[in-house]
Structure 1
């Protein structure tokens, strides 16, 4: 038997063993509750606890310097890769773009199969993409932007079942990862929520389905509907007493678009619920009250969906301070005894420790700059609010803003260090009800939030981020490392003593979990906000991460554009690392230092048309950036020749010529609307702030801050 033949036989045997192992593996309650086995990363938070902690330690503080690229895979036909991949028995599963699913060989990066659910164009306008998947009993589950939930055969990618979780034509959409578990009756269950409360009338809910068939098992509404129609359960009847006016006409909000954690010990599912619809509580709930169950952690019986307990982080919220950030379960020694706890850092700037059996608040402290509340009263569990923060007496500049001190980018908890690692942010929000009255205001497409629209560019120094190591027992920071920009990726932590994070500047970084010292970095060729994962194949530990700049980070104007990832030329890729890896990453263009607008001197801007176009441009902000300053995958329209051509602009915007590249068509816009947009884009391309405008902007900021201080101390009504 010659050497080459032996090698071929050995390779075939390894492949056969891998395929056999893949066929035999069962991802069920036992697997998802096993904290000790780090072979797979089979759920959004790795295990039911969502600690995002891996027991693998082959890559550690001593060996991480040897970490190198094993392989990379380019995604040339998708626009957004802000997702958490899964890894099961040497196969990586990931959702990219509009829930396009890929199965990839974790050893080589070879695509095994792909599935495209074909999202309807109108739902593409939300442009968020998918944040993750679920895996259960040989099937992969994903939600779709247009409201569908589907299950695929993990081996072949064949569709097993599909169901519409929303209503045709409504404002709901899905971006979050489903969660799966097995009930007491032995049936697998998959739960999914939705988003949409920022875009119009939406009443939030979650729905649980049979994991094998897609049959609906139960649905739980987050906020009450019209009392005249009766209530679905006692929880909704109780919640209605905390609302006033005719909130149901606006939907109420409360969407569960991201965070759901299953607790096998109590057989509960914890929901992190969303903001109100509209944001402005003075319009939504004019008589006051807590607006349950907005911005809350809600515990439900996982088999039946019956209410167990809740804790509301922001009563009657008015700032988009949703609690849809990840929730970690852990048993931690507190006051000399082990406590079953839930750890939660929602948008509002506080870190909460809850008793997960009862929902009782254990502690809460600020993790960053917070000006809307002084503290959380531990006796009542309620925030002590700062006078004037609700902008009821005029506009308010508030920390944090709607982006939160912690957003959806997941945190991680290490039982080794006892620390929680949080991708933290500091950025203010400007809120102005502009004299809107609950007696006359009506929700519309142009005003779904009940607030004055924001049209200005956001400067690159308007926000900052950090990687924060937080002690949940002492409620104090262990260390904090500044990170670039105003958005960075989610994190994982390992027994090897490492925290991994992809960053906005294109660096993938490993940090010492105890000291905060940076130990390793790798230039990915583009920034990311996607969380990484780690897993083991053939006895080797891998770390993988998606890289690509798109989604929410792209809409913040100059704040997003500072990293230079502006335009479609930048890669969307999956990178996998292993000790002593020596693969070469394909070259990518250098960051854009400055966008140079194009112009046609013969184009005369009509001020009235430009003003009309400014309001129509709201539909373009998510992709093309506020004030037409792009910060991501979509091109900067000021520098694009397309808007200079009426025919070319019409072909793309109205007729959908670039739909295959992720640009939805807006066939509801007429020719007059397109012309107004062209005038607005030209106005922005020629805009240069005068010295007086800059001075006025600074003066307005100073006056606003002074006003907030006067209101805080009761010196101004």
Structure 2
């Protein structure tokens, strides 16, 4: 959508919302008519998962009065998370799923529960980019969270005491959990991630909310036919695979989004990419490869398959459907239809009938060049031939593997009929690896995609950019677009007061007009923000809460130094008078040991390892984006024993650094030479000229 403009395409496509100026201390009665919005008890606010609050006390007329009510500093390595608010208490998990309960009015910490992930055996704790937890679930006074080492735990919300714990990765020892669980009736359902790293067969598991007893398990892709199939759905799916796919696991992990539909007592799963990405390896004869890259509807009580819709048959690009699954009703013709709306990585916005999974509309919400359109008769994409990079050719594809929309929340307002999507525009080259026929999985914490390197003779992709896109769901077209800084920004929420709140990577927390995208209010949060805000009411007063914290594989401007990030809870209300401490950052210098002799061959080995195992956290060229320390400035790499203790032995496991126990001595040494080499490149010219090196 290159022609998007910051204006409404069709007059009257949205309602202009006033909402009135409710006096401080009172919540508009209009909110009660739509569902009170008093609590934010689900990941997406309510069971519709639409990241919408009907509260109107804070609105587009009085937004200038919004101020900070309180803040709370957090001691954690990661705070990319969405909180909950129930009965005047804010709940959230950060880092290694450390749960917090905070008084929503005063900001006082009520309790904290640490599941002690870091003390688990290093072999159990795989880490995807050092991520912490993205969200938690709540029902009837109980909190639920997954842990990195594969547990699903239930904790009493009043006292912070463990109620039960189950091991859910018993069939996926190489998996890990970063996404939230989902409550579905009497069960809580949990998935997991890991299908970028190892041969994994995705599944979700349901447990009774009160006892933790396993209710059912549903696999996303079929296993070895010789072992039989768990159900008819797997038997059907096996017909869409070729070769010996089960040796590769297949992938299909449900690592983030789900939604529970009480109307049909179903849970909808957003399924993941294949493992490896490249279909020519895992399913060499082609096929749709069900149920990769799909929305799958299951009976919430039994896990029985009901229907599916696949967005990317035979997915070979890391496209997945882990993005928001939101439920609403839309009038189509003269009939009000229950629909599911979804904006996954591939750049198309989908509207599905929730009853039967039928595709009702689809159109691109962002720049994409892999498909001409979605065929409304078949529901399948009409791919351009180049997208499959045939005959050894490469293809510069929009969007790149991170997608046009990531896990940052989309919001949908039933008042405007618009969905608000944090959108990315970036491209990458796709090509087969040189060793396609002999490709082998590399064990350990290495990203195994089965995709080749970018051609050295090709021009670089165009600069990446981002925007907030408002999508007219009923009209199947854009309404407006706001350019935003960098590539990755925070999740969005919408409110009944005609507002859209979003945190940005430049450190601002912003309120936009839900009608036309005008920036109405901004707050200097002193840190980038990736998680979404929430809004709730306590004692007749509306609050907005967001957690600050930023992480990326790429450096941002400004750069959020891992050690100097201000990871906080920020809570706002009308006429809030609190202030944040003044900023006192100090530039951390690049470190060097002038007596260290860089061996070029060792550094070359280290570069290869770094770009497969370390770059996701520590950044391209060691220029970190907040997820982990900038190794050029770290004293750890100056001492060989300390470096090995951190990298291989897990000395800093409690701060999010995994243990690469499979690394050989020469791997660790190669990494250290690469770090020292890159550090010297970052030194002033005079200092760099004195550095020692050897090799050719």
With the length of structure 2 as denominator, give the TM-score of the two structures. Answer: 0.89
- The Cα of 1:34 is off from its aligned counterpart by 10
| Distance apart, 1:147 and its partner CA | 0.9
SS in 1 for 2:388: coil
Q: Name the residue aligned to 1:406.
A: 405
Q: Deviations over 1:357-382 (max 9, x none)?
A: 11111111011111111111111111
Match of 1:606?
599
List aligned pairs for 1:428-577, cutoff 5 A: 428-438=427-437, 440-445=438-443, 446=446, 448-452=448-452, 462-550=463-551, 553=552, 555-556=553-554, 560-577=555-572
Q: CA RMSD in A?
A: 2.2
Structure 1: distance between partners of 2:235 and 2:415: 44
User: What does the per-residue CA deviation read over 1:26-65, in whole Å, with 9 as the maximum and x for residues that have no partner?
Assistant: xxxxxxx996121100010111111111110000011110
CA gap of 1:515–1:591, structure 2 versus 1, over 3 A, is farther
CA distance in 2, matches of 1:614, 1:488: 29
Q: Is the 1:568–1:633 contact (alpha carbons within 8 Å) kept by the matching residues of 2? A: no
Which residue of the other structure, out of 327, 330, 342, is the alignment partner of 1:329? 327
Q: Do the aligned residues in 2 keep the contact of 1:564 with 1:591 (CA within 8 Å)?
A: no
Residue in structure 1 matched with residue 690 of structure 2 by the alignment: none
Residue 642 of structure 1 is matched in structure 2 by: 636
Matches within 5 A, 1:415-434: 415-434=414-433
Asked if residue 369 in structure 1 is aligned to residue 344 in structure 2, the reply is no
The 2-side partners of 1:273 and 1:34 are apart by: 35
Q: Is the 8 A contact 1:609 1:679 kept in 2?
A: yes
Matches within 5 A, 1:111-150: 111-119=109-117, 120=120, 121-122=122-123, 123=125, 125-126=127-128, 127-150=130-153
Structure 1 stretches lacking a partner, 5+ long: 1-32, 183-187, 689-717
Change (3 A) 1:383 1:491: same
Q: In structure 2, how many angstroms separate the alpha carbons of the residues matched to 1:374 and 1:98? A: 43
Counterparts of 1:281-430 in structure 2, within 5 Å, are: 281-393=279-391, 394-430=393-429
Partner in structure 2 of residue 700 of structure 1: none
Q: Give how far 1:605 is off.
A: 2.1
Question: Structure 2: any 5+ residue segments left out of the alignment?
Answer: 1-31, 683-696
Could you tell me whether the CA contact under 8 Å between 1:563 and 1:591 is conserved in 2? no
- Please give the alpha-carbon distance, in whole angstroms, between the structure 1 residues aligned to 2:251 and 2:72: 39
Distance 1:79 1:453, change over 3 A: farther
Q: Is the 8 A contact 2:506 2:557 kept in 1?
A: no
Distance 1:95 1:290 in 2: 37
Q: 1:534 to 1:654 in 2, by over 3 A?
A: same
Q: CA 1:73–1:637 in structure 2 vs 1: closer, same or farther (change >3 Å)?
A: same
Task: Tell me by how many angstroms 1:190 deviates.
Answer: 0.3
**Residue 654 of structure 1, CA deviation:** 3.5
DSSP 3-state at the match of 1:477: strand
Give SS of 1:236's match: helix
Cα deviation digits, residues 422-458 of structure 1 (max 9, x gap): 11111112222223335x33322256221235799x9
Distance apart, 1:627 and its partner CA:
2.5
Find the counterpart in structure 2 of residue 79 from structure 1. Answer: 77
Matches within 5 A, 1:80-229: 80-119=78-117, 120=120, 121-122=122-123, 123=125, 125-126=127-128, 127-167=130-170, 170-182=173-185, 188-229=186-227
The 2-side partners of 1:492 and 1:507 are apart by 15
State the distance in 2 between where 1:483 and 1:514 align: 18
Residue equivalent to 1:18: none
Q: 1:253 aligns with which of 251, 254, 259?
A: 251
* Aligned pair partner of 1:584 in 574, 579, 583: 579
Mapped partners of 1:655, 1:206: distance in 2: 31
Q: What is the CA distance between 1:472 and its match in structure 2?
A: 1.1
Q: Deviations over 1:573-621 (max 9, x none)?
A: 11000100001112344596xx753333433322211121112223222
By how many angstroms is 1:670 displaced?
3.8
Contact 2:127-2:176 within 8 A present in 1 as well: no
The equivalent residue for 2:590 is 597
1:114-146 deviation per Cα after TM superposition (whole angstroms, max 9, x unaligned)? 011111345153211101011111100001111
Give the SS at the match of 2:385: coil
- Taking the aligned partners of 1:525 and 1:500, their CA distance within structure 2 comes to 17
The 1-side partners of 2:436 and 2:491 are apart by: 40
Output the CA distance in 2 between the equivalents of 1:365 and 1:70.
Answer: 41
CA displacement at 1:356 relative to structure 2: 1.1
- Partner of residue 609, structure 2: 616
- Offset of 1:344 from its aligned partner? 0.5
| TM-score for the superposition, normalised by structure 1 | 0.86
635, 660, 676: which is aligned to 1:666?
660
Whole-Å Cα distance in 2 between the matches of residues 190 and 106 of structure 1?
A: 26
Whole-Å separation in 1 of the counterparts to 2:480 and 2:573:
28
1: CA distance, partners of 2:461 / 2:89: 39
Whether contact under 8 Å (1:351, 1:365) holds in the other structure is yes
For 2:582 and 2:173, how far apart are their aligned partners in 1?
43
Q: CA deviation at 1:660?
A: 3.5
User: Is the contact made by 2:427 and 2:462 (CA closer than 8 Å) also made in structure 1?
Assistant: no
Give the Cα separation in 1 of the matches to 2:471 and 2:521.
22
Point out the more displaced range, 465-474 or 157-166: 465-474
Q: Are 2:419 and 2:473, in contact at CA under 8 Å, matched by a contact in 1?
A: yes
TM-aligned CA distance change 1:654 to 1:241, over 3 Å: closer
Distance 1:455 1:206, change over 3 A: farther
Match of 2:22 in 1: none
